[in-house]
Amino acid sequence: MDLRHLETFIKIAERKSFTKAAEELYRTQPTVSKQIVDLERYLEVKLIDRTKRNVALTKAGEILLKYAKDFLHLKKEAIDAIAAFKGLKKGSMLVGASNIPGIYMLPQVLNLFRNQYNGIQLKLVISDTKDITHRVEQGECDVGFVGAKDETKKLDYRKFLDDIIIMIAPREYPDSIHVKSLKDYPLIIREEGSGTRNSFELALKKSHVMRATDLKVAAELSDTEAIKEAVKNGMGISYISKMAVKEELLKGNLKYLHVEGFPDIKRSFYITTRKGRTQLPQVRALVEIADKWRRNDKA
Do 33 and 151 sit in the same domain of this protein?
no
Burial 166-201, CB ≥16 within 10 A → b, else e: bbbbbeebeeebeeeebeebebbbbbebbbbbbbbb
At residue 87, the pLDDT reads 62
Go through the chain and tell me how many residues it has: 299
Do 277 and 214 sit in the same domain of this protein?
yes
Q: Which of 81, 108, 126 is the last residue of a domain?
A: 81
At residue 238, the pLDDT reads 95
pLDDT tens per residue, range 248-280: 999 999 999 999 988 778 989 999 998 877 778
CA 140 to chain centre: 11
Residue 164: φ, ψ to 5°? -130, 130
- Helix ranges restricted to H, 48-194: 59-85, 99-104, 106-116, 129-137
Q: Could you tell me the CATH number of the domain that includes residue 24?
A: 1.10.10.10
Do 101 and 67 sit in the same domain of this protein?
no
Do 203 and 270 sit in the same domain of this protein?
yes
Nearest-5° Cα angle at 65, 60 to 66: 115
At residue 85, the pLDDT reads 61
Q: Which of 81, 114, 134 is the last residue of a domain?
A: 81
Q: Are 141 and 270 in contact (CB under 8 A)?
A: no
At residue 86, the pLDDT reads 64
Q: Which of 81, 98, 127 is the last residue of a domain?
A: 81
Q: Could you tell me the CATH number of the domain that includes residue 181?
A: 3.40.190.290
Do 33 and 161 sit in the same domain of this protein?
no
Do 64 and 99 sit in the same domain of this protein?
no
Do 123 and 189 sit in the same domain of this protein?
yes
Q: Are 109 and 286 in contact (CB under 8 A)?
A: yes
Closest listed residue to residue 200, CA positions, set 136, 126, 259: 259
Domain assignment of residue 235, given as a range: 90-299
Provide the number of structural domains found in the chain. Answer: 2
Do 29 and 119 sit in the same domain of this protein?
no
Distances (CA, A) of 169 to 131, 184, 242, 251: 28, 14, 13, 14
pLDDT beneath 70, residues of the chain = 83-87, 297-299
Q: Are 267 and 101 in contact (CB under 8 A)?
A: no
At residue 276, the pLDDT reads 78
Do 185 and 207 sit in the same domain of this protein?
yes
At residue 49, the pLDDT reads 87
Residue 143: φ, ψ to 5°? -155, 150
One-letter amino acid of 272? T
Do 276 and 154 sit in the same domain of this protein?
yes
Do 163 and 61 sit in the same domain of this protein?
no
Closest listed residue to residue 24, CA positions, set 48, 7, 6, 43: 7
Do 97 and 77 sit in the same domain of this protein?
no
